[in-house]
Amino acid sequence: MSSKHNISHTTEIAVPIDFVWKTLFDLQDWKQWNKWTLLATKDASATPAEGMPGILKACYEGNDKDWQTFDFVFGEILHGDDKKQQQPVRLLTWRGSVASGCLFSGHHTMRLERIDDTTTRLIHAEHFGGLLPTLGLGLPYKTLNRNYRLMNESFQAHVEQKFKEQEI
62 part of a folded domain: no
What is the CATH classification number for the domain harbouring 85? Answer: 3.30.530.20
Structural domain for 106, as ranges: 7-31+74-167
Task: For residue range 61-75, list pLDDT tens digits in order.
Answer: 999 999 999 999 999
163 part of a folded domain: yes
60 part of a folded domain: no
Please provide the distance, in angstroms rounded to a whole number, between the alpha carbons at the two ends of the chain: 49
Q: Which helix (H) or strand (E) holds 31?
A: helix 30-33
| Whole-number CA gyration radius for the chain | 16
Count: domains in the chain: 1
pLDDT of residue 80: 74
Confidence category of residue 89, pLDDT binned at 50, 70, 90: confident
Confidence category of residue 144, pLDDT binned at 50, 70, 90: very high
37 part of a folded domain: no
53 part of a folded domain: no
pTM for the full model?
Answer: 0.92
